[in-house]
């Protein structure tokens, strides 16, 4: 299973593509693409690239446990939550930082 993630242009904040085509802050809102949804995933990537507003666009593999998304890589878990030490809140989107496809 996969999700799409990237960093929003203005703030650099970590964002995820949700089910409605919005790029949002919450990992748990991310749209999970199944193996057979590769076409939809690639279409979403292409549409995102057109916005020119999401950088470092990546496909991340995740596992769903009890409906909760767990990124497989520790890097992604840290990206989702913010630095662990010193503990800082993650970067948030500015008012004009909302991107949709």
Partner 1 sequence: MYRYDEFDAAFVRERTAQFRDQVNRRLSGEINEDQFRPLRLMNGLYLQLHAYMFRIAIPYGTLRSKQLRKLAYLARTYDRGYGHFTTRTNIQFNWPKLRDIPDMMEHLNEVEMHAIQTSGNCIRNISTDQFAGAAADEIIDPRPVAEILRQWSSLHPEFSYLPRKFKIAMIGAPSDRAAIKFHDIGLKAVTNDAGEIGWEVWVGGGLGRTPMIAKLIRGYVAHTDLLAYCEAIVRVYNRYGRRDNKFKARIKILVHEAGIDKIREEVEAEFAQTKGGVLTLPQAELDRITTYFAAPDFERVNATQIDVLREKELDPAYGDWLERNLHSHRQPGYVSVTISLKPVGGAPGDATDEQMEAIANLAENYSFDELRVTHEQNLVLPHVRVSDLREVYDTLVENGLATGNAGLITDMIACPGLDFCSLANARSIPLAQEISRKFQDPQRQRDIGDLKIKISGCINACGHHHVGHIGILGVEKKGTELYQISVGGDGTEKAAIGDILGHGFVADDVPDAIERLVETYIARRESADEPFIAAYRRLGDAPFKEALYGAQ
Contact 27, 64 (CB under 8 A): no
Among 21, 34, 42, 56, binds partner 1 (CB under 8 A): 56
86 is an interface residue for partner 1 by CB under 8 A: yes
Among 32, 37, 78, 100, binds partner 1 (CB under 8 A): 78
Report the alpha-carbon distance of residue 39 to residue 26 in Å, rounded.
Answer: 24
Contact 25, 93 (CB under 8 A): yes
Q: Which residues bind partner 1 (CB under 8 A)?
A: 7, 9-14, 52, 55-56, 72-75, 78-79, 82-86, 88, 90-91, 94
């Amino acid at each position: 299973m996969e999700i799409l993630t990237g960093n929003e242009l203005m703030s650099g904040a970590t964002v995820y593509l949700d089910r409605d085509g919005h790029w949002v802050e919450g990992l748990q809102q991310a749209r999970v693409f199944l193996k057979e949804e590769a076409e939809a995933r690639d279409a979403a990537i292409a549409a995102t690239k057109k916005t020119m507003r999401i950088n470092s666009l990546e496909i991340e593999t995740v596992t769903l446990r009890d409906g909760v998304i767990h990124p497989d890589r520790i890097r992604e878990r840290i990206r989702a939550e913010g630095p662990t030490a010193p503990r800082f809140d993650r970067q948030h989107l500015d008012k004009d930082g909302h991107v949709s496809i």
